[in-house]
Structure 1
Amino acid sequence: MSYSGFEVSSTVGSTSRRIFSKKSNLPVIVLSACAVMAACCFFSQGRLLSTMASVRRGATGISGMRAPSFRNHHPNPVRGLTSCQANGLPIDLKGKKAFVAGVADDQGFAWAISKCLVEAGADVSLGIWVPALGIFKKSMQMGKFDESRKLSDGSLMDFEKLYPLDAVFDTPEDFPEEIATNKRYAGESDWTISEVANLVEKDIGKIDILVHSLANGPEVRNPLLETSRKGYLAAQSASAYSLVSMVQKFGPIMNEGGSVLSLTYDASNKVVPGYGGGMSSAKASLESDTRTLAYEAGRKHKIRVNTVFAGPFGSRPARAIGFIERVINYSYKNAPIEKELSAMEVGQTAGFLLSPLAFAITGQVVYVDNGLSPMGLSFDSPTLKAEEEQTG
Structure 2
Amino acid sequence: MMFRLSLLVAALSAFALTTTAFVPTSKNAIATRSSSDYLSNAMNQVRSSSTSSTSALKMAAGVDLKGKVAFIAGVGDSSGYGWAIAKALADAGCTIIVGTWPPVLKIFQSGLKKGSFDEDAVLSDGSKMVIEKVYPLDAVFDTPDDIPDEIKNNKRYAGLEGYSIAEVAEAVKKDYGKIDFLVHSLANGPEVTKPLLETTRKGYLAASSASAYSFVSLVQKFGPIMNEGGSALSLTYIASEKVIPGYGGGMSSAKAQLESDTRTLAFEAGRQYGIRVNTISAGPLKSRAASAIGKEPGKKTFIEYAVDYSKANAPLAQDLYSDDVGASGLFLCSPMSRTVTGVTLYVDNGLHAMGMALDSAAMARE
Give the TM-score normalised by the residue count of structure 2: 0.82
Shift of 1:168: 0.2
Three-state SS of the structure 1 residue aligned to 2:235 is strand
Number of positions where the alignment pairs a residue of Structure 1 with one of Structure 2? 324
* 1:358 to 1:5, Cα distance in 2 relative to 1, 3 A: farther
Are 1:265 and 2:237 an aligned pair?
Answer: yes
Shift of 1:326: 1.6
Separation in 2 of the partners of 1:86 and 1:153? 9
Are 1:4 and 2:16 an aligned pair?
Answer: yes
1:174 to 118, 138, 146: 146
Specify the code of the residue in structure 2 equivalent to 1:252.
P
Are 1:152 and 2:127 an aligned pair?
Answer: no
Separation in 1 of the partners of 2:15 and 2:351? 24
Shift of 1:138: 1.0
- The equivalent residue for 1:140 is 112
Shift of 1:165: 0.1
- The equivalent residue for 1:346 is 325
CA contact (8 A) 1:3 1:103 kept: no
- The equivalent residue for 1:330 is 309
Separation in 1 of the partners of 2:360 and 2:49? 19
CA contact (8 A) 1:207 1:254 kept: yes
Matches within 5 A, 1:189-208: 189-208=161-180
CA contact (8 A) 1:102 1:127 kept: yes
Separation in 2 of the partners of 1:268 and 1:248? 23
Separation in 2 of the partners of 1:88 and 1:204? 24
CA contact (8 A) 1:65 1:107 kept: no
* 1:385 to 1:284, Cα distance in 2 relative to 1, 3 A: closer
Three-state SS of the structure 1 residue aligned to 2:353 is coil
Matches within 5 A, 1:17-166: 66=46, 83-86=55-58, 90-166=62-138
- The equivalent residue for 1:74 is none
Specify the code of the residue in structure 1 equivalent to 2:201.
R
Specify the code of the residue in structure 2 equivalent to 1:141.
K
Specify the code of the residue in structure 2 equivalent to 1:290.
T
Shift of 1:160: 1.5
* 1:63 to 1:202, Cα distance in 2 relative to 1, 3 A: farther
Separation in 1 of the partners of 2:289 and 2:182? 21
Specify the code of the residue in structure 2 equivalent to 1:341.
L
Separation in 1 of the partners of 2:59 and 2:273? 34
CA contact (8 A) 2:56 2:323 kept: yes
* 1:139 to 1:225, Cα distance in 2 relative to 1, 3 A: same
Three-state SS of the structure 1 residue aligned to 2:231 is strand
Percent of aligned pairs with the same residue?
58
Three-state SS of the structure 1 residue aligned to 2:180 is strand
Separation in 1 of the partners of 2:201 and 2:59? 49
Question: Once the two structures are superposed, what CA deviation does each residue of 1:115-142 show, in whole Å capped at 9, x if it has no partner?
Answer: 0010000001000001111010111122
Specify the code of the residue in structure 1 equivalent to 2:330.
G
Matches within 5 A, 1:190-229: 190-229=162-201
Shift of 1:309: 0.6
Three-state SS of the structure 1 residue aligned to 2:112 is helix
Three-state SS of the structure 2 residue aligned to 1:85 is helix
Specify the code of the residue in structure 2 equivalent to 1:357.
M
Specify the code of the residue in structure 2 equivalent to 1:330.
Y
CA contact (8 A) 1:5 1:109 kept: no
Shift of 1:64: 7.6
Shift of 1:90: 1.8
Separation in 1 of the partners of 2:265 and 2:58? 32
Shift of 1:83: 4.7
Shift of 1:67: 6.5
Shift of 1:272: 1.8
Separation in 2 of the partners of 1:280 and 1:317? 19
Structure 2 portions without partners, runs of 5+: 1-13, 19-39, 295-301
CA contact (8 A) 2:46 2:291 kept: no
CA contact (8 A) 2:285 2:307 kept: yes
Would you tell me which structure has more helix in proportion to its own residues? 2
Shift of 1:321: 5.3
2:284 to 300, 306, 312: 312
Shift of 1:324: 2.5
Shift of 1:205: 1.1
- The equivalent residue for 1:355 is 334
Separation in 1 of the partners of 2:148 and 2:119? 39
Shift of 1:81: 5.8
CA contact (8 A) 1:5 1:264 kept: no
